[in-house]
Amino acid sequence: MNEPTEAQKRAEEAQAMDRVVAATQKVQSAFTSLQSQFPPEGTGQPSKLALQVLDAALQELEDAQIAFDSLLNDLIDGER
């Protein structure tokens, strides 16, 4: 299999960073939604769905960070 070009490597790194940014935005959105379910706007009893959405967003952020860290480690180790 052919080695990726420098442009392909940079594109992959940019995609990994974009994934982290998008996941961070999803966490922020899910948290804001959940926060609205607490006083003064809400009852203080968040919906199961809101909790599940936040949990999924946090998991995606963790997965994105792991993937990005792996790319960075490869760079530092000279494997990219």
- The answer to whether residue 55 sits within a structural domain is yes
Banded pLDDT at 60 (limits 50, 70, 90): very high
- The answer to whether residue 1 sits within a structural domain is no
Burial of 39 (0-12, 13-18, 19+ CB in 10 A): exposed
- The answer to whether residue 28 sits within a structural domain is yes
Measure the CA–CA gap between 12 and 2, rounded to whole angstroms.
Answer: 16
Domain count of the fold of the chain:
1
- Contact, 57 vs 26, CB < 8 A? yes
Domain boundaries, position 62: 9-76
1 pLDDT above the threshold of 70: no
Within 8 A by CB and 6+ apart from 6, the residues are none
- The answer to whether residue 31 sits within a structural domain is yes
pLDDT of residue 30: 97
Mean pLDDT of the 5-15 span: 89
- The answer to whether residue 4 sits within a structural domain is no
